[in-house]
């Protein structure tokens, strides 16, 4: 291996003059090299900075795509889907205004003249007199009996009577437990139907259903309900009689 040795000029004979001579030369070369290196470094930095900060030129043409106009992606399933059927919307004809037809004027019927009881009696007496005169007799003394409705009459059992306010119970009498059922420790239930008249009194109570039957529940329930007192039902603020159904329950006291 060979080694190259650097020899300074006039090696072994360096003095102040030689030092000043070579020092100035090498300092100038070193300073030039240092300045060159720094210039290259600073120039490289500013060049890179210029390249990175430069705004790219705008594109010459920009195309905007509407996602709604894009075709759907292909189906992943192997089976082909049948195209959807287009159903035509029904077309409706524009509405046409109907031509009004004239309505013939109605002639109000003549109001029949209602005869009073006295006029009816006189007319009937004249007809009877004429009839009896033709037969050789007389019709004096014949009177027409006017039918007066009975306000205390009770409609058929269960018949509906219109009312606005139902009757309200103001007096209640509890039934006496039948001895047979009490000794047997048996309870029961009885449905009693009765009529509440215009005075609020109970009329014609009747047991229409009893469970169980034949143990005295029916008689005890009817006897108790017959003593009840109500306020009468009202229709247009007038008292009316109505049919009522009430369930009476007999329960064994334990």
The domain spans of the chain are: 16-47, 168-250
Longest dimension (CA), the chain: 203
pTM: 0.42
- What CA–CA distance (Å, rounded) separates 179 from 102? 80
Query: Strand, helix or coil at 184?
Result: coil
- pLDDT at 241 (0 to 100): 94
pLDDT of residue 244: 94
- The whole-chain average pLDDT of the chain stands at 75
Residues of the chain with pLDDT under 70: 1-19, 54-65, 74-121, 123-124, 126-151, 254
Q: Helix (H, G, I), strand (E, B), or coil: what is residue 133?
A: helix
pLDDT digits (tens, 9 = 90+) for 123-157: 667 666 666 555 554 444 444 334 345 667 888 98
The counts of H helices and E strands in the chain are 4, 7
Looking at CATH, the fold of the domain delimited by 168-250 is given as TolA/TonB C-terminal domain (3.30.2420)
Q: What is the pLDDT of residues 164-200, one digit of tens each?
A: 999 999 999 999 999 998 888 999 999 999 999 999 9
- In which element (H, E) is residue 169 found? strand 168-171
């Amino acid at each position: 291996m060979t080694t190259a040795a650097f020899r300074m000029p006039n090696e072994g004979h360096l003095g102040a003059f030689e030092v000043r001579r070579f020092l100035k030369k090498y300092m100038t070369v070193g300073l030039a090299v240092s300045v060159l290196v720094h210039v290259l470094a600073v120039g490289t930095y500013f060049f890179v900075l210029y390249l990175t900060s430069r705004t790219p030129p705008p594109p010459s043409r920009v195309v905007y795509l509407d996602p709604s106009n894009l075709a759907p992606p292909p189906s992943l399933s192997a089976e082909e889907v049948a195209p959807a059927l287009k159903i035509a919307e029904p077309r409706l004809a524009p509405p046409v205004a109907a031509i009004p037809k004239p309505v013939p004027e109605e002639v109000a019927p003549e109001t029949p003249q209602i005869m009073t009881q006295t006029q009816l009696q006189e007319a009937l007496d004249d007809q009877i007199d004429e009839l009896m005169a033709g037969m050789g007799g007389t019709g004096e003394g014949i009177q027409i009996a006017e039918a007066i409705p009975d306000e205390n009459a009770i409609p058929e059992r269960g018949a509906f009577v219109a009312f606005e306010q139902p009757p309200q119970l103001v007096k209640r009498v509890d039934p006496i437990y039948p001895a047979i059922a009490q000794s047997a420790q048996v309870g029961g239930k009885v449905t009693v139907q009765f009529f509440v008249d215009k005075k609020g009194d109970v009329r014609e109570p009747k047991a229409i259903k009893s469970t169980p039957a034949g143990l005295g529940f029916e008689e005890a329930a009817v006897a108790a309900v017959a003593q009840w007192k109500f306020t009468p039902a009202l229709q247009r603020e007038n008292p009316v009689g109505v049919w009522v159904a009430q369930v009476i329950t007999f329960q064994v006291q334990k």
